[in-house]
Structures are given as structure tokens and as C-alpha cells.
């Protein structure tokens, strides 16, 4: 630790910290453009100049290490003058187009120019002009505005692991770009928009849409993948205009994947905004009472079952489960992919090490998963750990580019033997099992084998739990926590689809082929998007998407998080738990809660995990007995198949999104060079 | 927007050499000879640090292009080949290529005339050298390639040959103490396929005074 004074305030910071960090510890704000706490230090914008006693000239605080007894001054005439000079240089080539710039109002350069800029320019010479670059369908570039901070270059090569951006040319001719016209091949590319301190990289779908001060901001959580990233939903009137990440160091740091950020335009298309009832083989618009009456006719007194979708919040799942229980049914399933998950103990289906726990691992084996598309932010965490050094990573499954080097150990479950050798000797070994690896006929055996692998490698200790299941969507773990699986004597999904039930309630369940539903089954579809399952339905109940309701979601590590309503559901659509509550009344099994609070109280009483908000997984494993799921306990020879081939279109919202469709076209079918706008 | 070009000064030309519609080759592979040179250079660096050899490797690629096509430049496929050979991201190679003016990113003529116009050469008559290059090489100015594809002329900054100024660099060779006539003579010789001996064209011994040594000649006065 080093003791130093900042403007007379004494602070103690670790050796090796920068002066800028010490200044922040003292509560002094230092202006900066190139410095970013999650990227390497570049020290090229010079905005963070401070004065240090006995130093002959101002120093760049971001790249200057602290020393014992140092006296730093952040607000002297010298500092102000130096920063004013730097700002004047930065503004030489920066266009004065703030009125038409999308960054306007949330621009670091604009803000800092207010503090350190001159009121008028002394520069009379022509400004340089730079051709705009094409870096993909998500990012709009206006390279005249670039101040060469190189945050984007460092993010691409350090965090995203796609070293495709760089600075070409030199001096006056230096330009930031990819040199070859190509879309940045990253699922995290949207984060460049947040990182860019000026308006050089802005959101293409958000171009000329709104100003930050017109937006209502709602903190929520993302459900598009199982990471449970913290997001902020920006809304004007009742339209979601953009989604940005929030900082949550335990989960997403400050990144989110492109699907989480850009697929919201799918919330405006193909929506179910009123109830529909099938009459004479045709779906016709109906009122809510008509829809409920149709349900009473079709389902009352019959065998009923329910299948839950992948992004449904816990409240409506709990309500649906309670309603079916009241009707005497335990035919429940939330595993649309048919994954053989053992719900007898939470740590059999959680990412037990925790996302932040990845940084303690020293050997990782990834089984049947491509975390880069299944959870890009978690993949970035693994990469971050790899960059820090001392981590070896093995893969059993198809060969993919994970943005870090891996040892390919095999492709089929039987290659787990090699994985055991690979993990041997590691202090904190981690097994990451993809949910897709369980969605096969020998899934239960794979689960047991993966658990045994972790056990043999010494990953199941009281101080370390190295068994991890990586789920695919934000609602999957919550459903498992609620036990939304066949109860005693209940049918599973396959049995229900095969005609085991007379009536089938699909709660946002779009993840399977609707043609599998037996012909005679009465189908109730409750959800927000009209896809194949809704087309098969006899009654459609319009529900709310994740931005349109207060809900509880559980991420892959078992973290219970609350999402908040940013906009009301469209048209006659309602929050899902209310729909189920109303239906229960019609069906004569009125549920005992009238408010969300009452529902949550009951839910927490029945499942105490839901009272543990925003907490990570329990540390360590106290019982290393493995899953005892039934079925054949011999793993097959068939190679693992990956569940997601197209990152951009995997759920009803992203499938309805025009932005995601454009991404799929751009990234999956390489096109000849696309011209920049 | 002439002002925009003007700000960049003489640097602009070096990367805009040749015809605008330069046709990119679709394939590049190191020749056996180049491969041997690269292996020798890579061996100078510790294992895992082979990317340090990027500048030398690029220059080898550029020379190979000169030998094979008569135009010493680095097409993008060659940059990619260098990146693959040295195990580095292609973008890092593009950055190096575009940073250094010794690499031509567009095709150039058979001979690369590099006229030094920095102060010592300019004081000693580099304007005459430039004029001679334009006249004898049929060049319009800096950055131009002659219609017959024999010469490309670029302006370079100090070549470090100030004592024998003005200097004209042809590919890797320095021709020193140039004036209008000697430049014309040199270009005519190059056109005939000859390669005059590099060095001072007035017979100066290294960088000794004109007319031979003046001091420490052995004779006591």
C-alpha cells in the first residue's frame, strides 16, 4: 500500500495503482477519454493530466503509478491550463455537429468541453475528413468524430477477443477501422457503442431516434440468455427505444450481448395484442370473457397439463403451477428442449462456481457447449480469466472459435475420460456443461458423468463448487427452482404432446415443433408472440414480454433478480400472472392472491430461494453425491450437438426482430463487401 | 478540399501510388527463397515472439512481389500471408504496413525513385533532381507512376545521406551528389536495364570532401 495526498486529502491505495485511481479513491473526478477501468491503459488522450509536486510538467494520471508520499494536485492553474490545451487539440479535427449527433447529451467530449473547452475556436485551418467505415449492421460510424482514444480497438482485442479493429496510417492520416470492410465478428460488438466517448460509433438501429433526456429509464434484467445481465430499458411514450447494460460486477460487469441489446424491436412485431378463440377451425378475435369461457369449455374437468417457455418469469409459473395443482394436475414441464435435468438438488442444475467465480478457476472443461453464442458475456469472463494467465481450457464437443485457445479433447460424451486427465492437478477445476448436452436420449447419463468428472477432479469441495450447468435463457432456472417439472404421477412434455392430456396450457412455450402436439388436444397458448404454437392454439391469451411486466428471473448461477415493467403490454395484453389469476376464477379454482406482492409472499414461502434476492450461488459443495436421474446410465457414442447455431435468432422476440434478421444475413451468409453508408 | 490534402503534406503520396484501380492478386505464397530468409529472421527472436519479425517479413514479401511481378508492393493477400506465418491477427499487420512508408500498399513502377526533399538536399539542389526525374521519367509529380510502368516517384524525408546531398534512392540503392544531368543519365541507364553502381556519382570517397581528402593526408606542411 502507498500513502499519498490528493489535493491535501490523504489516501492509501495498493502499490501499482495509478494516480488516476488514487484520485478517484479521494473522490476527485478526473476527466478522461482513453482510460477505461476494464481495458488496458493506453495513455494517449492526455485529458487526465494532473500536477505532481516536484514533477516538471503535468503527468497523465491514468498511466502514472503512485509512489509513497506523492503529492498530487488535480485543480491548479497548471492542470486547468493543460487540460484546456488538450481539449483544444482534440477539438481541432472534431466536427461541431453536436446538433445532429446521436451521442449529443450523453457525450463525454461534449460534457468535458463544457468544463475545459474554450468558448470559441482559434483554429482557422480546414479540418480533416475521414471516410466512414463499415463494421457491421449494428454500429453506425461517423469517423470524422473519432478522437483516436482506441477504446474500441482495445475492447475488440482484449474483451471480445476479435482483434479486427486497429489504427491504420499515421499522424494526420491515422484512421480507426478494420482496414478490410467487414462486420466485426463479435456477439459483443454493441458494447463499442457504450465505450466510444464521442459519436464516432453509435447504434445504427437507434440512429436519429431520440435524445437521452426524452427517455424514461427503467432498471431491469435481461432474459435473452441465462446470464441475467443487468440492463436499463430506455422508453419514450410506450415504446422501447433502446436497451443498455448496467454495471453488475458479479454478473455482466458492464457488457451485454448483441441479442440482449438489439432484439427489442422484435417486441413491436408479430405481437399478440388481443385474445383469440378458434371457432369452426378458424381463429377469430375474441374478448377476454369469451376466451376464458372457451377455456372452461375445453379444459374444465379434463386432464390438463402445462408447458412453460424459456423466458417466462417466476410469478406466472408459480401461479400456473398452483392453478394446475388446484385442478389436481401435476402434468408440468419446463424443459422444452427435452434436457434431462435432475431437479432434486439445485446444484445439479446451477452454474455453481458463479460467473465471477470463473476468475478463481485454473482449469476449465467445456462439455457440449459453445458459450460464445450461448452466453457471450460469460464467455468474455472466461476469456478475461485466460488473458490473466494460468488457465487451461479443454473442450469436449464440436470445434468452435471461442476467442481463446482451447485443447480439443474430443467430441462425444465418452471423451470425458480425456477431460478427467485434463483437469488432473488443477487447484480449482471447473466443469461447464452445456444445457444442450443434456437434450439427448442419454442426457441423464451425461449429467451423471459430468458430475462424476467434477467429483474426480476434486471440484466438489466445501470451499469450491466446480460443477456448472450453463442454461440458455433467462427463465429456465426459475422454472426449475419452482419445480415446474412432472410431479408425482405427472406426465412429462413428451407424454403430454403425445396425447396424454386433453388440454394443454402453453405458457410462452415456443421452443418446440408445434406439429408434435397430438391432434385432439385442446391447446391454450399464453404468450406475447404469434408463432407456430399460437397458430396451433384453440385459445390465445395475449401476455406480456419481459419489458412489460414486473417479474422475477433466476440466472444460470441461481441469482434471483427482479425485472421491472418499462412499458405496458400492448393492446389488450396483460401481465401473465393476472391472466392466470383470472382464468383460475373461471375454472373454479380461484387462486388465493390478488396482488403481485401477495403472490410473491406465497412464492417465497413455498420456495425460500425466491426470498434471496440478488445473491450469488452458495459457496462450495457439502454433498458430492451425484444426480440419480433414471434412464440408461451409459453415455452414448453420438457426438455432442450444439443447441444454438444462429445466435441472432433463437427466441420469439429475436425471431421477430428486423435488426437480428439483418445480423443473421450478414454473419451467417458471408456477403460480398457491403458499402458503408 | 485541396486544403485537406495539403495538411498531410508530402506523406500523402506514398500510399496513393499507382493506378487507382489496382488489381489485388487473389493469392500469395512465400517463395522458397523468401521462406529461408524469414526462417533466419524469426530465429533471432525468442519462441512465441515471432511477431517481432513483422517488418522484416513484410519487406521480404514486398521484394518477392518485385521479383515476381516487377512491382514491389504488398497486396492484402501478402499481409494475410505474413500474419498467418507469424501467428498474429491480420489487423496488426495492416497497422504496421500502413504506418511505414517503406511499404507500398498499391502497385508501383519497376523502379521506385525516392527523392529526398529535406532541407540539406533541398539546399544542394533536390529541386533539380525532381525536375530531372519528371523530365526523363515522364512523371507528373510525386506519387505518379509513368505510363510505361517503369518509374514511380515519391518524396521522402531525410534519408541520412546529407553530407552527399542531394540524394536519390532507387529501390534500396542510394545515388548521391546528384544534379540534373546525372539524374537524367541515371534514369536513362535504368531504362536500358543497366544498374549503375550506387554511391556518389562524382566519385567522392564515402563522405570525404569533394576532390579527395583535405587533412591528415600524410604530407606535412
Residue A114: pLDDT over 80: yes
Contact by Cβ (8 Å): A424, A395 = no
A672 has a pLDDT exceeding 60: no
Q: Are strands A9-13 and A2-6 parallel, antiparallel or unpaired?
A: antiparallel
Query: By three-state DSSP, how is residue A661 classified?
Result: helix
Q: Which of these, A519, A509, A560, lies nearest to A320 by C-alpha position?
A: A509
Confidence band for B10, pLDDT divided at 50, 70 and 90: very low
Please state, rounded to an integer, the average pLDDT across all residues of chain B: 87
pLDDT tens per residue, range A33-47? 999 999 999 999 999
Residue contact A166–B95, C-beta within 8 A: yes
Q: How far is B6 from chain A (nearest CA, A)?
A: 9
- Model's pTM, two decimal places? 0.91
Q: Do the Cβ atoms of A381 and A555 come closer than 8 Å?
A: no
A21 has pLDDT over 70: yes
| Contact (CB, 8 A) for A323 and A584 | yes
* Predicted local distance difference test score (pLDDT) of residue B21: 45
Q: How far apart are the first and last CA of chain B?
A: 64
Cβ of B89 within 8 Å of Cβ of A167? The answer is no
Nearest Cβ partner of B91 from A127, A173, A178?
A178
Q: Could you tell me if A138 and A189 are in contact, meaning their C-beta atoms sit under 8 angstroms apart? A: yes
Nearest by Cα to B125 from B182, B188, B178: B178
Which strand (E) or helix (H) includes residue A10? Answer: strand A9-13
Q: Give per-residue pLDDT as tens, A199-210.
A: 999 999 999 999
- Pairs across A and B, CB distance < 8 A: 50
> Which residue reads 489485388 in cell numbers?
B24
Q: How far apart are CA A295 and CA A323, in angstroms?
A: 13
Q: What tens digit of pLDDT does each residue of A138-197 get?
A: 999 999 999 999 999 999 999 999 999 999 999 889 999 999 988 999 999 999 999 999
Alpha carbons A677 and A197: distance in angstroms, whole number: 22
Q: How far apart are CA A131 and CA A140, in angstroms?
A: 12
Contact (Cβ atoms closer than 8 angstroms) between residue A651 and residue A510: yes
A352-384 core/surface letters (b: 16 or more CB in 10 A; e: else): bbbbbbbeebebbbbbbbbbbbbbbbbbbbbbb
- Is pLDDT above 80 for A377? yes
Mean pLDDT, residues A219-223 taken together: 96
Q: Is the peptide bond before B57 cis (omega within 30 degrees of 0)?
A: no
**A491-513 as b/e: b if 16+ CB within 10 A:** bbbeebbeebbbbbbbbbbbbbe
Output b/e per residue, B119-133; b: 16+ Cβ within 10 A. Answer: ebbeebbbebbbebb
B112 strand-pairing partners:
B152
Q: What is the pLDDT of residues A336-351, one digit of tens each?
A: 999 999 999 999 999 9
Interatomic CA distance for residues B129 and B135, integer angstroms: 10
Is residue A22 scored above 60 in pLDDT?
Answer: yes
What is the percent of chain B with per-residue pLDDT over 70, rounded to a whole number? 89
Q: Which residues of B touch A168 (CB under 8 A)?
A: 94-95, 98-99
Closest Cα in chain A to B12: A173
Q: What percent of chain A has a predicted confidence (pLDDT) above 90? A: 91
Query: Which residues in B lie closer than 8 A to residue A127 (C-beta atoms)?
Result: 4
SS3 A502: coil
Among residues 128-147 of chain B, which lie with CB inside 8 Å of chain A?
A: none
Name the one residue in this structure whose C-alpha cell is 407456430.
Answer: A532
CA pair distance A131, A176, nearest whole angstrom: 10
- A124 to chain B, any CB pair closer than 8 A? The answer is no
CB contact under 8 A, B4 and A126: yes
Strand partners of residue A522? A503
pLDDT, one tens digit per residue, over B106-157 is 999 999 999 999 999 999 999 999 999 999 999 999 999 999 999 999 999 9
Angle of CA points B46, B48, B54, to nearest 5°: 85
What integer pLDDT is reported at residue A617 of this predicted model? 87
- Collect all residues of chain B within an 8 Å Cβ-Cβ radius of residue A178: 91
Rounded alpha-carbon distances, angstroms, from residue A633 to A205, A444, A446, B196: 49, 7, 8, 83
A-facing residues of B in 84-113 (CB < 8 A) are 89-92, 94-95, 98-99
pLDDT of residue A629: 56
Amino acid at each position: 500500500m502507498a500513502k499519498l495526498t490528493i489535493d491535501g486529502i490523504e489516501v492509501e491505495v495498493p502499490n501499482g495503482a495509478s494516480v488516476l485511481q488514487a484520485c478517484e479513491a479521494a473522490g476527485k473526478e478526473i476527466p478522461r477519454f482513453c482510460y477505461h477501468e476494464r481495458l488496458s491503459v493506453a495513455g494517449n488522450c492526455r485529458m487526465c493530466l494532473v500536477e505532481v509536486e516536484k514533477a516538471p510538467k503535468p503527468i497523465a494520471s491514468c498511466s502514472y503509478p503512485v509512489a509513497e508520499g506523492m503529492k498530487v494536485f488535480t485543480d491548479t492553474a497548471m492542470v486547468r491550463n493543460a487540460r484546456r490545451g488538450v481539449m483544444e487539440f482534440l477539438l481541432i479535427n472534431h466536427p461541431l455537429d453536436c446538433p445532429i449527433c446521436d451521442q449529443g447529451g450523453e457525450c463525454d467530449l461534449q460534457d468535458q468541453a463544457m468544463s475545459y473547452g474554450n468558448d470559441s475556436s482559434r483554429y482557422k485551418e480546414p479540418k480533416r475528413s475521414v471516410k466512414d467505415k463499415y463494421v457491421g449492421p449494428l454500429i453506425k460510424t461517423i469517423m470524422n468524430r473519432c478522437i483516436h482514444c482506441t477504446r474500441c480497438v482495445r475492447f475488440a482485442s482484449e474483451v471480445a477477443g476479435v482483434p479486427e479493429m486497429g489504427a491504420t496510417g499515421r499522424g494526420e492520416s491515422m484512421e480507426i477501422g478494420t482496414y478490410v470492410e467487414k462486420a466485426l465478428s463479435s456477439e459483443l460488438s454493441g458494447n463499442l457503442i457504450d465505450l466510444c466517448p464521442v459519436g464516432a460509433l453509435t447504434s445504427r438501429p437507434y440512429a436519429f431516434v431520440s435524445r437521452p433526456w426524452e427517455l424514461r429509464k427503467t432498471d431491469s434484467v435481461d432474459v435473452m440468455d441465462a446470464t441475467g445481465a443487468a440492463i436499463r430499458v430506455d422508453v419514450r411514450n410506450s415504446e422501447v427505444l433502446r436497451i443498455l447494460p448496467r454495471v453488475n460486477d458479479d454478473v455482466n460487469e458492464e457488457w451485454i450481448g448483441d441479442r440482449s441489446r438489439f432484439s427489442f424491436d422484435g417486441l413491436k412485431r408479430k405481437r399478440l395484442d388481443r385474445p383469440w378463440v378458434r371457432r369452426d377451425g378458424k381463429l377469430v378475435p375474441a374478448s377476454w370473457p369469451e376466451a376464458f369461457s372457451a377455456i372452461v369449455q375445453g379444459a374444465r374437468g379434463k386432464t390438463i397439463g402445462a408447458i412453460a417457455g424459456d423466458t417466462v418469469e417466476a410469478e406466472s409459473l408459480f401461479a400456473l403451477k398452483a392453478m394446475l395443482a388446484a385442478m389436481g394436475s401435476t402434468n408440468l414441464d419446463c424443459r422444452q428442449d427435452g434436457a434431462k435435468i435432475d431437479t432434486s438438488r439445485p446444484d445439479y442444475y446451477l452454474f455453481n462456481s458463479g460467473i465471477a467465480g470463473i476468475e478463481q478457476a485454473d482449469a476449465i472443461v467445456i462439455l457440449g457447449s459453445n458459450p460464445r453464442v450461448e452466453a457471450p458475456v460469460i464467455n468474455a469472463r472466461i476469456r478475461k480469466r485466460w488473458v490473466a494467465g494460468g488457465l487451461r481450457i479443454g473442450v469436449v464437443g464440436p470445434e468452435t472459435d471461442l476467442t481463446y485457445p482451447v485443447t480439443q479433447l474430443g467430441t462425444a460424451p465418452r471423451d470425458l475420460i480425456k477431460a478427467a486427465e485434463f483437469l488432473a492437478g488443477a487447484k480449482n477445476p471447473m466443469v461447464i456443461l452445456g444445457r444442450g448436452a443434456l437434450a439427448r436420449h442419454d442426457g441423464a447419463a451425461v449429467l451423471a458423468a459430468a458430475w462424476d468428472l467434477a467429483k474426480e477432479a476434486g471440484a466438489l469441495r466445501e470451499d469450491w463448487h466446480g460443477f456448472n450447468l450453463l442454461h440458455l435463457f433467462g427463465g429456465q432456472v426459475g422454472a426449475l427452482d419452482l419445480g415446474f417439472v412432472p410431479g408425482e404421477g405427472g406426465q412429462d412434455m413428451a407424454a403430454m404432446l403425445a396425447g396424454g392430456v386433453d388440454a394443454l396450457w402453453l405458457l410462452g412455450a415456443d421452443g418446440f415443433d408445434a406439429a408434435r402436439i397430438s391432434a385432439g388436444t385442446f391447446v391454450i397458448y399464453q404468450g406475447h408472440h404469434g408463432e407456430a404454437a399460437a397458430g396451433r392454439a384453440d385459445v390465445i391469451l395475449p401476455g406480456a414480454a419481459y419489458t412489460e411486466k414486473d417479474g422475477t428471473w433466476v440466472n444460470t448461477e441461481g441469482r434471483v433478480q427482479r425485472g421491472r415493467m418499462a412499458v405496458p403490454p400492448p393492446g389488450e395484453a396483460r401481465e401473465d400472472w393476472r391472466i392466470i389469476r383470472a382464468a383460475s376464477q373461471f375454472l373454479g379454482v380461484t387462486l388465493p392472491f390478488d396482488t403481485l406482492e401477495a403472490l410473491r409472499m406465497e412464492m417465497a414461502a413455498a420456495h425460500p430461494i425466491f426470498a434471496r434476492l440478488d445473491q450469488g450461488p452458495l459457496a462450495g459443495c457439502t454433498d458430492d453425491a451425484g444426480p440419480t436421474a433414471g434412464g440408461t446410465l451409459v453415455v452414448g457414442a453420438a457426438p455432442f450437438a450444439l443447441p444454438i447455431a444462429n445466435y441472432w435468432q433463437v427466441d420469439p422476440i429475436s425471431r421477430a426482430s428486423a435488426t437480428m434478421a439483418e445480423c443473421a444475413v450478414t454473419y451467417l451468409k458471408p456477403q460480398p463487401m457491403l458499402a458503408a453508408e | 478540399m485541396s486544403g485537406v490534402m495539403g495538411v498531410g503534406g508530402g506523406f500523402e503520396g506514398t500510399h496513393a501510388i499507382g493506378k487507382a484501380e489496382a488489381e489485388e492478386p487473389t493469392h500469395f505464397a512465400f517463395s522458397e527463397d523468401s521462406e529461408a530468409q524469414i526462417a533466419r529472421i524469426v530465429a533471432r527472436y525468442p519462441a512465441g515472439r515471432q511477431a517481432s519479425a513483422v517488418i522484416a517479413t513484410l519487406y521480404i514479401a514486398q521484394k518477392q512481389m518485385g521479383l515476381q511481378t516487377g512491382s514491389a508492393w504488398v497486396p492484402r493477400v501478402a499481409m494475410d500471408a505474413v500474419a498467418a506465418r507469424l501467428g498474429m491477427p491480420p489487423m496488426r499487420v495492416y497497422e504496421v504496413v500502413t504506418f511505414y512508408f517503406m511499404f507500398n500498399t498499391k502497385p508501383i513502377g519497376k523502379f521506385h525513385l525516392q527523392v529526398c526533399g529535406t532541407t540539406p538536399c533541398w539546399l544542394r539542389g533536390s529541386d533539380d533532381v525532381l525536375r530531372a526525374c519528371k523530365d526523363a521519367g515522364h512523371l507528373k509529380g510525386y506519387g505518379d507512376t509513368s505510363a510505361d510502368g517503369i518509374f514511380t516517384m515519391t518524396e521522402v524525408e531525410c534519408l541520412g545521406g546529407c553530407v552527399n546531398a542531394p540524394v536519390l534512392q532507387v529501390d534500396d540503392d542510394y545515388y548521391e551528389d546528384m544534379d540534373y544531368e546525372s539524374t537524367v543519365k541515371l534514369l536513362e541507364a535504368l531504362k536500358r536495364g543497366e544498374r549503375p553502381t550506387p554511391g556518389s556519382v562524382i566519385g567522392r570517397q564515402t563522405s570525404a570532401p569533394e576532390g579527395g581528402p583535405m587533412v591528415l593526408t600524410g604530407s606535412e606542411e
